[in-house]
Amino acid sequence: MAAGIITGTELSAETETALERAVASHRHEALFSERAHNIKQSAVRDVFDISIRPGLVSLAGGSPSLTGLPLDLVAQTASKVITEHGMEALHYGGGKGTEELRALICEIMAEEGILGASPEDVVVTTGSQSAQDIAAKVFCNPGDVVLVEDPTYVGALNTFEAYQVQVEAVRMDGNGLIPEDLEARIAELEAAGKTIKLLYTIPSFNNPSGITMAAERRQRVVDIAREHNILVLEDNPYGMLRFDGKPLAPLRADNPDDVIYCGSFSKIFSPGVRLGWALVPRHLYRRFYLAAEAVVLCPSTLTQLIVTEFFRRFDWRAYLAESRAVYAQRCEAMLSALAAEFPAEATWTTPDGGFFVWVTLPEGIDTYPLLHEAIDAGVVFIPGAAFTSSDEPSNRLRLAFSGVAPEQIREGVKRLAPVVRRAVEQ
């Protein structure tokens, strides 16, 4: 007992519990796997906790706008599913996900240019996040290399690092990942005797930069990966949210054997249902879904039934068209506020879709300490350093326009502008 450590002293029950916990923590520290030491709290989640404080404008989290969803229809659907499916709705299901949902997923993917995908090649996952985790688990040994875009999604970085892989960044320009840089990085790493397993890319409306890989680069990128026997892990949660025109065909569209494609219901419907999917090359499918089963047994039966039924009853194509208009308007509000408020030394991306604008300040400014000043000014953003695997400070910051109404976006940018101006003038 911890109380026994300090004999003859009366301790409150609370102190006693805290002491016991400290002793247990000390004993168990040595038991953590090396992997566990690599698991970090995501900077986005850190800021998320701050950003829900009343009065703050959050340009931090990339939350979808759910305001256009007919909540009554969602509620009716949930009730119908439970009434009609009874106990089946509350039971375990198959590890790949229900056949009906996998068929619906193929219809959704057809809308964005993946034609003729078979439900047999789909694994329903707990969000796209878990599809990335499964891919890392199935393919990566400690020390293997995963190539990522610079910058890239912080959640994927955390996943890869937890598997003790060496994450190597490939540069992007305004047209996405640069094929020549990809070739150069691969050559260097191969010359150093490294095994490169995956190329993780968010080709449409990259999180955090909002940049889209140009159509003419897409095949080249897959070809380079194929030549070096590297699998492409394509993460496309925002692909359907292009403001104007049809979505660009995903890398997977013409490359069924070389690309694992990850999709998600989080941005097109609701992140709370925690449903995403992987479309897996047939020859890799068995191991992929066995690994998925080993983690979750099966994806949530209840939310799969609700989502399938809801999408069958609801004009989701019309809803997506409305969502695109909402995001386009919010993006425009952010871009015009930046143009009006930010100093001339700052530059930013102009996304064609998705949730984010990526701001670059002059070299030498570290945006991390600016976050504290921004919080004092009543606004939050995510500092750019979160989106790279290096420990270098970053002069960039991510602003999310997706979950905030236009007036709030303008107010947030207005609050942030003096913080940025002070940093630029220093």
User: Does 394 sit near ligand PMP (CB under 6 A)?
Assistant: no
User: Does 64 sit near ligand PMP (CB under 6 A)?
Assistant: no
* Least distance (Å) between residue 267 CB and ligand PMP: 7
Residue 255: which H helix or E strand, with range? none
241 within 8 A of 205, measured Cβ to Cβ: yes
User: Does 276 sit near ligand PMP (CB under 6 A)?
Assistant: yes
Q: How many residues bind ligand PMP (CB under 6 A)?
A: 14
Number of alpha carbons in the 13 Å side-chain half-sphere of residue 75 = 3
Amino acid at 277: W
* Closest by Cα among 414, 277, 390 to 334: 414
* Least distance (Å) between residue 153 CB and ligand PMP: 4
> What does the block give as tokens for 54?
């009343």
* Least distance (Å) between residue 17 CB and ligand PMP: 35
**By C-beta, is 77 or 206 nearer to ligand PMP?**
206
146 within 8 A of 198, measured Cβ to Cβ: yes
Rg (CA), the chain: 23
Amino acid at 19: L
The helix/strand/coil state of 215 is helix
* Least distance (Å) between residue 159 CB and ligand PMP: 10
**By C-beta, is 207 or 395 nearer to ligand PMP?**
207
Of 72-80, 121-129, 163-171, 344-352, the segment contacting ligand PMP by CB under 6 A is 121-129
The Cα 231–Cα 287 span in angstroms is 15
The DSSP secondary-structure symbol of 395 reads: S
User: Does 266 sit near ligand PMP (CB under 6 A)?
Assistant: yes
411 within 8 A of 365, measured Cβ to Cβ: no
Question: Which residue number places its CB atom closest to ligand PMP?
Answer: 127
User: Does 327 sit near ligand PMP (CB under 6 A)?
Assistant: no
Of 35-43, 122-130, 176-184, 323-331, the segment contacting ligand PMP by CB under 6 A is 122-130
Interface positions, 127-146, toward ligand PMP (CB under 6 A): 127-129
- Footprint on this chain of ligand PMP (rule: CB under 6 A): 62, 127-129, 153, 155, 202, 207, 235, 237, 264, 266, 271, 276
